[in-house]
A and B are shown apart, each in its own frame.
Chain A
Amino acid sequence: MASTTSTSSTTQEVSEPRLFGLLAEFSEASNLISAAAAIRDAGYKRWDCYSPFPVHGMDRVMRLKPTVLPWMVFAGGFAGATGALALAWFCNAYAYPLIFSGKPYWSLPANIPVAFPLTILLASITTFFGLWALTGLPRPHHPLFTSERFRRVTDDGFFIAIEATDPCYHTATTTELLRRLGAIAVEEIKD
């Protein structure tokens, strides 16, 4: 192992921050909407809007695709229902048949109470962790946190960030576009 080279390359990564993209601040929510529409029309793909509260109509303007989470939840709930019924059947009717109060070994009504909570349990667990997976949580750090200005996003700041990995991204022209759309400040984010 060439230990010296690997060490030097690590220090190089730390000393030279990677470019994340451009952060633009807008003065109010309506400007954010019109700017988002223009950025969408300009063909950008990897960008996002940040605001202190949900802005009505933003989903439509950004052309956000519906989430696949409901399908994951459905699969979770289905697995819970069938799993519970299969387990009850295997235990009570197949592996070790027992007679309880003169009821048949296997019967649907008796096992619905088991299937019901397990459906809910697996569906809610899928919802919880599915949401984490789809939103990329847990994420202790985000490049935008390096910006002093961005702190106001939880108070009164409206922002759009365009990532450098976007095929349309070009520092000069993108900055120019954001300024034209009414950004009161544009800064380069490095992390």
Chain B
Amino acid sequence: MEHSSINLGPREEFYLDQAASRTSKMALAIGLVALAVAAVLGFTRHDSMRQFLFGYLTAWCFYFGITASALFFVLSHHLFRSTWSVVLRRLAEALACNFIPLAIGLIPILLGLHQIYPWTSAAYMHSTVELRNKLGILNEKFFLIRCILYFIPLIALSLYFRRVSLVQDQDGHVSRLLALRKHSGWGFLALFWIINFVGADFIMSLQPKWLTYAEPLFFFAGAIMTIYAVLPLLAMWLQQKGRLQNAITVDHYHDLGRWLFAWMMFWIYIGFAQYMLIWYANIPKETLFFLIRDMGPWLWITLALLFGHFVIPFFGLFSRRAKRRKGLLAFWCVWLLVFAYLDLFWQIMPMVWVNTPAGERALNHINHFDPYHLERSAGALAWIPLSPEAIAVNILCVLGIGGLLLAHTFYLLRKESLVPLKDPGLPESLAFEDHV
């Protein structure tokens, strides 16, 4: 490949330098303050930090999804030998390294395991035969082991793919790229299964009695979509700062928008498949999930997800123009990130009231096929995770973890080039043009 055809512009266009450190420090400050305020607000609720822990778990899962999808972007880039995405890869590589702070961020969840997960209570797990049979999986020791088993390959993969890519910036050996391609295969499979298992362990196990077909895959679908909303926003921010002006073109945005649209469709596909099978079979062990989200205010959140995560953006992102105009694409990226968070909120937060003695009593009506009394006894309880302070805690957790992770990302980006300078596919990516 001729290197003379590379036109990246002056050095200032593909290095962040001072801007990265400034942004990193600002994000760190915002993150720390937001998390501290969230913790104090959570403490004042006198619910042994349950609201804070659930808000924290929701935000953690949201950012786990973004980080995992960043690694997904890097691995699929190498696995399919893409060239169009070379100019975006370095950003995804840096985002994927957030697994290290996320692993540290597990500590509050592990400390609050008894407040979050009902399967930590021996009395609860011995209450039915079915629950007793799940003790082999749902116990604290094995949960901790699984967390370690998930994070070792995730951290190793993200560090390795970034490190080798940076080494190639120095020596330009094509063997670096070939090594990455070689490891992308098993890494891709491992990542797929780990995301599914994280969905099962952190979200599905909130309701140990629940049986379902596709919840882990549903989490996977919602998670992978997020990188295709984060990358355009990050790229637009960089271009506003005068970086990568020539490198990232409208054609790159167009393709990111298409992927965003595709993963949004996959999300509703899996979500509806799960809903329809549960609706059709109509077994209490399965309908439990949707019954809880059918009550009072939660019905409106369910409908908001259907329309906000699918129907409205389906028509909004449908046309070519929506994906090729920066302002419009940015709007839909922010929109879908908000609904990606609401998706996790909808999956996790009802457990704040369900996993209490009062909630358990109310849900006993399900076993007697008595939705009327369920609605009556649980109607007020369902509002608990939706009070203004509760929502404030959730938002502060999103800002808090987000700020810390953003600080880490920009800390990594402060010295390195924003594009892989000696990747053989770079000229092709710079000249990438979309014909369809």
The interface of chain A, by Cβ under 8 A from chain B, is: 54, 56-57, 59, 66, 70, 101-103, 109-110, 112-113
Contacts and interface: CB of A to CB of B under 8 A. Distances in A.
A29 to B, nearest CB: 13
Contacts of B276: 109-110, 112-113
Interface in B27-65: none
A109 B282 CA distance: 13
Interface in B366-396: none
A113 B276 CA distance: 9
B435 A109 contact: no
B433 interface: yes
Contacts of B279: 109-110
Interface of B: 272, 275-276, 279-280, 282, 319-320, 431, 433, 435
Contact of A110 (B280, B431, B435): B280
B297 to A, nearest CB: 22
| 6 tightest A-B CB contacts, nearest first | A56-B433, A109-B276, A109-B279, A54-B435, A112-B272, A112-B276
B316 to A, nearest CB: 15
A109 B431 contact: no
A182 B215 CA distance: 64
B387 to A, nearest CB: 32
Nearest to A113: B276
Nearest to A59: B435
A56 B431 contact: yes
Contacts of A112: 272, 276
A49 to B, nearest CB: 14
Contacts of B433: 56-57
B357 to A, nearest CB: 33
Contacts of B272: 109, 112
A109 B275 CA distance: 9
B82 to A, nearest CB: 18
B214 to A, nearest CB: 15
Given A57-B433, A109-B279, A113-B276, 19 more contacts: A54-B435, A56-B431, A56-B433, A59-B435, A66-B320, A70-B319, A70-B320, A101-B280, A101-B282, A102-B282, A109-B272, A109-B275, A109-B276, A109-B280, A110-B276, A110-B279, A110-B280, A112-B272, A112-B276
